Structure 1
Amino acid sequence: MKLSLASKPILIVEDNPVIRKSIRDMLYSLNADTIIEADNGVAAINAMAKTTFEIVLCDYNLGPGKNGQQVLEEARHRKLIDYRSIFILISSEQSTSAVLGAMDSKPDEYLTKPFNAQQLISRLSRHFARRDYLGGIEKAMAKGDLAQAIRRCDALLERGDVKMRLHLLKMRAELAIAAGDFESARRIYLEVLQHRDLPWARLGLGIIDLQNNNIEQAIAGFQSLVAENPMLMEGYDWLTRAYEALDRHQEVEQVLQQALELSPQSILRQKKFAETADKNGNLEAAEKAYKAALKLGKHSVHRSCSDYAGLAKLYAKTNAGEEALKTLNEMRQEYANQPEAELRAATLEADLFRAQGDDEAAQQALDKALDLCGRLGSKAPRELQLEVARSCFLNQQHDKAEAILHGLIQNHIDDEQFLNNLRAMQSGVGMHNYSEIQIQKTRQALIATNNKGVALYKQGKFKEALDLFEQAIATMPENKTIILNMLKIIIHDLKANPSDADKERRARLLLKKARQLGVEQHKLGVLQMEFGKLHRPAAAKA
């Protein structure tokens, strides 16, 4: 049966009008009747913001401005495309670095110029067949309904479709990891590896080892994987995470360097490398990476004022004060009227002016930073709040530093890595163990609150338990442990009272907040599974 594109909204993104016409003619030959064209990345994003396209054909090189990879990243970040869409990245680039850079963003399909109508038809047909077959699973995944996604995946596996079995097993293992069911995922990966040595199965085993805190075993697995599959960029990313878990920052830098030599167009890896090299004292490499991140970020959705601030702080370390101030001025121009950028600039200026002996200017900058920090509140990144507190210590304003740290400790008492960063900051300004008493008191208070809340719940006093956790959230709105425990109680209560709309609404909000705060998926997945089951009394028959 001939492929028909009738009634399917299609977007062509190509800066060359001749090539645009050639692609358009190919699509018309397939009965396409809804085609929109864009000749640059910004126009493409604007088009996707107005229309949900089923097919996006996007060239990689689009002239000045965004490239095709950046268009895809922004479209995904802003949820302008979903599981029903096919995004085909087109490129004439043949170099390893260009291809890896393009594939890093994981387009649905990749086409190399020149291509003909039959090649395009083959890609589209393959995608539509896959979408029709797996659409039910991907729809449930898009909604965050892990229970439904797993049920649908299991149902397809039971059909015994040999051609799709490996793909389904890969999806099923990834769903198991997301749900925190590591044993099921491990069984699947080991079953696959008994028959074929597939990199994705080995990667999955390493991820499970890392999540189970078998970090050395995970490192060994990832090292072996990238040695045998040097183009598998995900392997480098997971190896980096494993080394980070052991605070082995020199190895983190080395692995990131290897990855960037292969795929230098990754802005997120450039950022990570800059920060790590900076931390390790490799300032020359850090400066180069910060500049690369700034260049890559010019048209990227991942651009951030923190990249300018990082470079400025590096200049400050090398006593290049004028370069630091120049970089901050560039940041202000690039991020005009953005409070976070102004806060970063004012905080660093306080340190720079103090180092130059201009105490009055330093105090003015610090006062400005404190005002901005107070207005931004929890919207200010926590590492930036630490910088403000550090500046307060350096300027002998310990009470103001303590006020900032009080909120940070309350919200992040269950994040040992962050607490270590806080301790390192204090040691760096000669305030060793300054907050240790507060850390211990906060930790004890958190344990007491959790124990009391769980005890109330076990006694059947659901309202009292919820009231207790609501009070705790009021004082610790970003504390992951409190949020997770409150979620557990609400979901368990909903099992007995499934028609309680207020509790259901509260659970949804807490799940959303937990995702925003970066709660590990394997911890959140179990609760997502339980919550998903509440709304499907007949789901077992589906």
Structure 2
Amino acid sequence: MTIANYDNMRFLIVDNIKPSQEILKQFVMRLTTKHVDSTHYAQDVAAICQQKLYDVILLGYDLGENQKNGQQILEELRVNGYINRHCIVILITAEVSQAMVLAALEHKPDHYLCKPYSLSDLDKRLRHCLHKKKAMAQIYQALDDNNPTLVIQRCKQALSVNSPYKAECLGIMSRQYFELQEFKEAKAIYIAYQNQGNCQWATIGLGKVALQENKLKHAEKLFKLLIKNNPLYLSSYDWLAITYEEQFHYILAEEILEQALSLSPRSLTRLKKYAQLCTHNEHFDKATTAYESNYKLAHNSIHHCADNTVKYVQALIEHAPSLPLVDARKVNNKALTFLRKMTRDFKASDIKIHSHFLGACLFDISKEDVLANNELVLGEELLIKEQSNISAERLAAISLTLKKLKKYNLASQLLITCEQYTAIQESQSVVSIKDKAQAEIELALSLYSENKYSEAIIKLQDASTKFPKHIAIKLNLIQVLLVSFESNKTLVSNFQRAKILLLEMTHVRLNNNELERLKKMQKKYQQIAGI
């Protein structure tokens, strides 16, 4: 491996233990001429990374009680695009439990380092990461630019010069083919590398192709085999659950995600999906536990939202009636605390209204009628005041809780309001689409009047893609295609395109004016073709 050169590279150190942070800082300062930034505040990392583009981040995992951990910070940085694929992230942790390691790996740090470690260990990992980033730089740039065709081209170039990262290049290239729906090319790679070491992605890919081809039993077989041979390769559980759902085997989907969560209980996406399946299967005890775990794990992450509390309380409302009254009151008190925190963290009026109605449900279950009625009255008063400011989606969610409270009339009124909102939005959307389409047509016709046929065709083709059901755009496009060929007989493709569109239009229901115009276009086509 070549000697690493960190000169001019920007480093960020995130560690809440001062002595540890200073040791890292002194080590890094010997590597680069750039100023080395550091912080021990987890909450500051996202803001810091928005201000500067870092080449290396040495990220502590445990950053203090009630603070974001390194995994949550890494997810926030990646999801929001605050770091790109060129940035090296090394996760440094004193915790080496399977749950922590698997959860961290799902967010793909470039490496991780377990405490206690030596600076020599850190140096080795940095060298390894830098070597890989440099070798894969062009591919990563194309990925950041969201250019799948260029990604494939650069992967092929890397493979042609025997890249030491062959497996990753093939994995990236096959994913691009899959996303481009070029399944034949993707499948060829998957089959060739299915049984190679560290190529579990190939079996996942074959399973995904089988799903696309509706070969559900074959997909199921592939994912099961992968789980058997690689029980810690967690995405195989997710894909098997999806396969079960496609076959309406919701119980099996729930059970397979339960297995995955027993191995890695900190995956929020998987946990939320599992909770949804438990609710669908009416396993409300499991749903309540899962949503509570989701609520707690999400608290300091980008997944923190009011819906986490609402889903937990809704599951509990279904589960609590099966509990002894003493136990029901105990869990209800915890849920009420969560609701109070929700209205403190999120100020929207619909959240406060929903909180009152959910609280009323909880008090109703625990036989505290006066408190239930108080919450109900407060919710109704606020709803009357704020209803016009609440979205249809939120009103629909509130109506479901009102039905639990047997407030059927009020729930129905909200649903009627939702339908009215939707109708108005659809009407406005139609008007907006018509306006936009007309603007596109006018611009194209302006180019047409100046004999700029090629530019007019491009405009009308773009407009047709945006508004595929817009008749006037298609008729205008046919006209310009015919006139362009008439003026330049070498543009045979334009004439052929006009023919295809004319044939398509014969199967479309048209009004009298549109039909009359189509007939004129057909006649013009026949004249030019000499028919």
Please report the TM-score for the alignment, with normalisation by the length of structure 1.
Answer: 0.69
Show the counterpart of 1:329.
339
Show the counterpart of 1:12.
13
Show the counterpart of 1:107.
109
> Is 1:375 the equivalent of 2:389?
yes
Show the counterpart of 1:98.
100
Contact 1:268 1:302 in 2 (8 A): no
> Is 1:341 the equivalent of 2:354?
no
Q: 1:107 is matched by which residue type in structure 2?
A: P
Going from structure 1 to structure 2, the CA distance change for 1:351 and 1:408 (only over 3 Å counts) comes to farther
Q: Deviations over 1:328-360 (max 9, x none)?
A: 632434423135633542564676799969889
Show the counterpart of 1:254.
255
Aligned to 1:396, the other structure's residue is in SS state: helix
> Is 1:312 the equivalent of 2:313?
yes
Give the Cα separation in 2 of the matches to 1:349 and 1:133: 57
Shift of 1:167: 2.1
Contact 1:267 1:296 in 2 (8 A): yes
Q: 2:63 is matched by which residue type in structure 1?
A: L
Show the counterpart of 1:445.
none
Aligned to 2:292, the other structure's residue is in SS state: helix
Shift of 1:471: 11
Q: 2:294 is matched by which residue type in structure 1?
A: A
Show the counterpart of 1:204.
205
Q: Deviations over 1:77-98 (max 9, x none)?
A: 2221111211111112222222
Contact 1:40 1:66 in 2 (8 A): no
- Of the structure 1 ranges 358-367 and 233-242, higher mean CA displacement relative to structure 2 is found in 358-367
Contact 1:388 1:401 in 2 (8 A): no
Q: Deviations over 1:395-449 (max 9, x none)?
A: 235464145257779999xxxxxxxxxxxxxxxxxxxxxxxxxxxxxxxxxxxxx
Show the counterpart of 1:365.
379
Show the counterpart of 1:440.
none
Q: Deviations over 1:180-204 (max 9, x none)?
A: 1111111001111365583121111
Shift of 1:102: 1.8
User: Which structure has the larger Rg?
Assistant: 2
Q: Deviations over 1:267-302 (max 9, x none)?
A: 232322233223322222222222212221221111
Show the counterpart of 1:432.
none
Give the Cα separation in 1 of the matches to 2:352 and 2:96: 42
Percent identical among aligned pairs is: 22
Which residue of 126, 146, 158 maps to 2:148? 146
Going from structure 1 to structure 2, the CA distance change for 1:410 and 1:125 (only over 3 Å counts) comes to farther
Give the Cα separation in 1 of the matches to 2:377 and 2:461: 47
Q: Deviations over 1:47-84 (max 9, x none)?
A: 22322211100111112111111111111122211112
Going from structure 1 to structure 2, the CA distance change for 1:166 and 1:104 (only over 3 Å counts) comes to closer
Show the counterpart of 1:89.
91
Give the Cα separation in 1 of the matches to 2:274 and 2:465: 43
Question: What residue ranges of structure 2 are gaps of 5+ in the alignment?
Answer: 322-327, 427-456, 485-531
Contact 1:308 1:327 in 2 (8 A): no
> Is 1:396 the equivalent of 2:396?
no
Give the Cα separation in 1 of the matches to 2:234 and 2:384: 41
Contact 1:328 1:345 in 2 (8 A): no
Q: 2:127 is matched by which residue type in structure 1?
A: S
Aligned to 2:165, the other structure's residue is in SS state: helix
Shift of 1:29: 3.0
Which residue of 73, 77, 80 maps to 1:78? 80
Which residue of 120, 133, 140 maps to 2:135? 133
Going from structure 1 to structure 2, the CA distance change for 1:171 and 1:294 (only over 3 Å counts) comes to same
Shift of 1:387: 2.3
Shift of 1:120: 2.2
Going from structure 1 to structure 2, the CA distance change for 1:195 and 1:96 (only over 3 Å counts) comes to closer
- Of the structure 1 ranges 185-194 and 356-365, higher mean CA displacement relative to structure 2 is found in 356-365
Shift of 1:388: 3.6
Show the counterpart of 2:121.
119
Give the Cα separation in 1 of the matches to 2:87 and 2:267: 24
Q: 2:134 is matched by which residue type in structure 1?
A: D
What is the Cα-based RMSD across aligned positions, in Å? 3.7
Show the counterpart of 1:269.
270
Going from structure 1 to structure 2, the CA distance change for 1:197 and 1:217 (only over 3 Å counts) comes to farther
> Is 1:47 the equivalent of 2:60?
no
Aligned to 1:12, the other structure's residue is in SS state: strand
Q: 2:315 is matched by which residue type in structure 1?
A: L
Contact 2:360 2:375 in 1 (8 A): yes
Give the Cα separation in 2 of the matches to 1:134 and 1:461: 36
Q: Deviations over 1:367-407 (max 9, x none)?
A: 755876753537x5xxx554245457752354641452577
Work out the number of aligned pairs and report it.
425
Going from structure 1 to structure 2, the CA distance change for 1:359 and 1:93 (only over 3 Å counts) comes to closer
Shift of 1:206: 1.2
Q: Deviations over 1:495-520 (max 9, x none)?
A: x9xxxxxxxxxxxxxxxxxxxxxxxx
Show the counterpart of 1:481.
none
